[in-house]
A and B are shown apart, each in its own frame.
Chain A
Amino acid sequence: MARRTDFDEGLNQLRELLIRMGTHVDGALKEAVESLKNSDLAKAEEVNRRDAELNAMEEEILELGSQLIITQQPVAKDLRRIIVAFKISSDLERMGDLARDIARVTIRMDGQPLVKPLIDIPHMASIASTMISESIRSYMDENTDLAYKMAKDDDEVDELYSAMLRELYTLLLDKPESAPQMMLLQMVGRYIERIADHATNIGENVVFLVTGRRPDLNS
């Protein structure tokens, strides 16, 4: 029987696209947080504009994966490789939307100075960024250890987010006039926390890919 070269070739293309999506999302998150830190409107506009590219890549993954299913009729792990690629691309697309939402906060702040220097947000963003690359790597290598590690990183992001909320609350009592800005910063924290959740979903899907069973890493 012939080896599945066409199929393997298609899978590699899927992987390639997922790497591109992951790199794009990671870049968008970093740029969006940078734009917020430096009140850089131009950079924020750029992130906002480039989100459409992610949607196009997700479409491409759906198209390619569907073709593979129709022409190659994969089963077992091969089928899960495609189903999981679909799920990952949709998580990445949502993560991209959230990064765009952060950039839109920068745009809404419209250059007004920050009431305090950003500390927790860049910290959370850097963990989330690591999680994005780990999520893609865990899919490439079918590495469940990495998936479980991401669940731990996610807990850390959740804790930072809670700490940040407490701090904002204290600040709010101190400087009630900056409430509008703090609410926007709170939203940014929430967006990053959601990005980390999506990365954890990807880890869950990788565990499903490898074992055929779905764990719940997000609780």
Chain B
Amino acid sequence: MEPIIRTENLDLYYEQFHALKSVNLDIPEKAATAFIGPSGCGKSTLLRTLNRMNDQIAGTRIEGLVSLGGADIYDKNMEVESLRKRVGMVFQQPNPFPKSIYENVAYGPRLQGIKKKSELDEIVEESLKQAALWDEVKDFQKRSALGLSGGQQQRLCIARALAVKPDVLLMDESTSALDPISTAKIEELIRQIKNRYTIVMVTHNMHQAARVSDKTVFFLNGEVIEAAETKTLFSTPEDSRTEDYISGRFG
């Protein structure tokens, strides 16, 4: 699996706090990679460095390299807007805009200058289909997104992220606020789309990581302890700290 994202000796500080410590990681292209580890170990921090969401946090300092398709994303010539278009994000709480279902998905493509109704319709339909939501909403696309259930809202947010055709989709605990059935639907859609997009997901549900990801990375105190093929990491981890963590014997 070819890496699309690579970090080299990546350090991140929040003021004095050393949150990421010399992280060297390859994220394979068109596959799902899961970040696991105890609370506060830096999973979200690393995820946010991948589309420069940390830029908005005052006092953050970064050293080392993060590259996307070979290009340094912290280079001064990198346009953050276009980076975020290539690297989309879905958060823990569904956050649809207070607009119609259709407008939520059409929003990004419109910003990119697509105006033609037929073209937008097509993108909206395709994105809703990829997010496994089309069948449930195709007849009510004009209704407010806020009327959807939590699980549907989260799939709408995924459709919205996919509508701008990103290369990478970052998901930070995107199913942790959902019921088991909605969670299963999102896991299934990840399995469906992961051969077209690169997915990087943070999850506290280790069985979810085991079910949907191809590669799993275990973090502890801002360090990568082990990164391996998911099957290997959950059956024969190399580091005893990984084994302790996945076996629930930690702390």
Residues of A within 8 A of B (CB): 1-4, 7, 72-80, 211-213
Complex CA–CA separation, A72 to B38 (angstroms): 18
Chain A's closest residue to B245 (CB) is A1
CB contact between B243 and one of A4, A7, A76, A211 (< 8 Å): that residue: A76
Q: List chain B residues, Cβ under 8 A from A72.
A: 248
Closest chain B CB from A12 CB (angstroms): 15
Q: List chain B residues, Cβ under 8 A from A3.
A: 248-249, 251
Q: 6 A-B Cβ contacts within 8 A?
A: A1-B38, A3-B251, A4-B249, A76-B235, A76-B236, A76-B243
A4 touching B248 by the CB < 8 A rule? yes
B248 touching A7 by the CB < 8 A rule? yes
Q: List chain A residues, Cβ under 8 A from B207.
A: 73, 75
Complex CA–CA separation, A66 to B206 (angstroms): 20
Closest chain A CB from B145 CB (angstroms): 35
Q: List chain B residues, Cβ under 8 A from A75.
A: 206-207, 210, 234-235, 246-247
Interface readout for B228-251 with A: 1 if CB under 8 Å, 0 if not? Answer: 000000111100000100111111
Q: A72-B248, A211-B236 are in contact. List 5 more A-B contacts (CB 8 A).
A: A1-B38, A74-B247, A75-B207, A78-B247, A79-B235
- Best-surrounded residue of A73, A74, A76, A80 (most CB of chain B within 10 A): A76
Complex CA–CA separation, A73 to B208 (angstroms): 12
Q: List chain B residues, Cβ under 8 A from A7.
A: 248
Which 4 pairs of residues, A with B, have the shortest CB-CB distance?
A212-B236, A1-B251, A78-B247, A4-B248
Closest chain B CB from A9 CB (angstroms): 13
Complex CA–CA separation, A104 to B92 (angstroms): 66
Chain B's closest residue to A7 (CB) is B248
A1 touching B235 by the CB < 8 A rule? no
Q: List chain A residues, Cβ under 8 A from B234.
A: 75-76
Q: List chain B residues, Cβ under 8 A from A80.
A: 235
Q: List chain A residues, Cβ under 8 A from B206.
A: 75
Q: With A73-B207, A75-B210, A76-B243 in contact, is A1–B250 under 8 Å at CB? A: yes
A76 touching B246 by the CB < 8 A rule? yes
Interface readout for B14-44 with A: 1 if CB under 8 Å, 0 if not? Answer: 0000000000000000000000001000000
A77 touching B243 by the CB < 8 A rule? yes
Q: List chain A residues, Cβ under 8 A from B38.
A: 1
- Best-surrounded residue of B243, B248, B250 (most CB of chain A within 10 A): B248
CB contact between B247 and one of A4, A211, A213 (< 8 Å): that residue: A4
Chain A's closest residue to B39 (CB) is A1
Q: List chain B residues, Cβ under 8 A from A211.
A: 236
Q: List chain B residues, Cβ under 8 A from A76.
A: 234-237, 243, 246-247
Complex CA–CA separation, A3 to B249 (angstroms): 5
Complex CA–CA separation, A3 to B250 (angstroms): 7
Q: List chain A residues, Cβ under 8 A from B248.
A: 1-4, 7, 72
Chain A's closest residue to B207 (CB) is A73
Chain A's closest residue to B248 (CB) is A4
Closest chain A CB from B81 CB (angstroms): 40
Complex CA–CA separation, A213 to B236 (angstroms): 9
Complex CA–CA separation, A72 to B248 (angstroms): 9
Complex CA–CA separation, A69 to B97 (angstroms): 42
